[in-house]
């Protein structure tokens, strides 16, 4: 919706990421983004590590969707992300086997 803060980064699909407290203050004051999702966490990679993990299919990249992030129940998001890509997550296994 066009809201930007001190360190807002706009990404594909018109979404934005903000890592400073100004966005929380704006939301509390009624001047922040109309739709928002608060998330806390940390992930760090050594140089080239993320590229290697992507090459080994260690990550699943789902199609971007406002409905998935803002409308779907939290407990169903994982499954819905796979379904959006045409994959039934019930068919996945945690570790490979040998036939």
With a CB cutoff of 8 Å and minimum separation 6, the contacts of 15 are: 64, 69
User: Cα(54)–Cα(58) distance, rounded to whole angstroms?
Assistant: 6
pLDDT in tens, the chain (99 residues): 678 888 899 987 788 999 899 999 999 999 999 999 998 888 899 999 999 999 998 898 888 889 999 999 999 999 999 999 999 988 887 777 666
Rounded CA-CA distance 20/78 in Å is 27
pTM of this structure = 0.71
Give which of 28, 26, 8, 4 is closest to 18, Cα–Cα: 8
Could you tell me the residue ranges of all domains in the chain? 1-41, 45-85
């Amino acid at each position: 919706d066009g809201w930007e803060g001190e360190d807002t980064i706009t990404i594909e699909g018109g979404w934005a990421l903000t890592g400073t407290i100004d966005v929380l203050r704006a939301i509390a004051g009624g001047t922040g983004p109309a739709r928002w999702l608060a998330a806390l966490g940390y992930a760090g990679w050594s140089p080239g590590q993320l590229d290697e993990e992507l090459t080994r299919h260690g990550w699943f990249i789902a199609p971007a969707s406002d409905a998935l992030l803002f409308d779907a129940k939290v407990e169903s998001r994982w499954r819905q992300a796979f379904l959006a890509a045409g994959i039934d997550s019930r068919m996945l296994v945690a570790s490979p086997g040998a036939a």
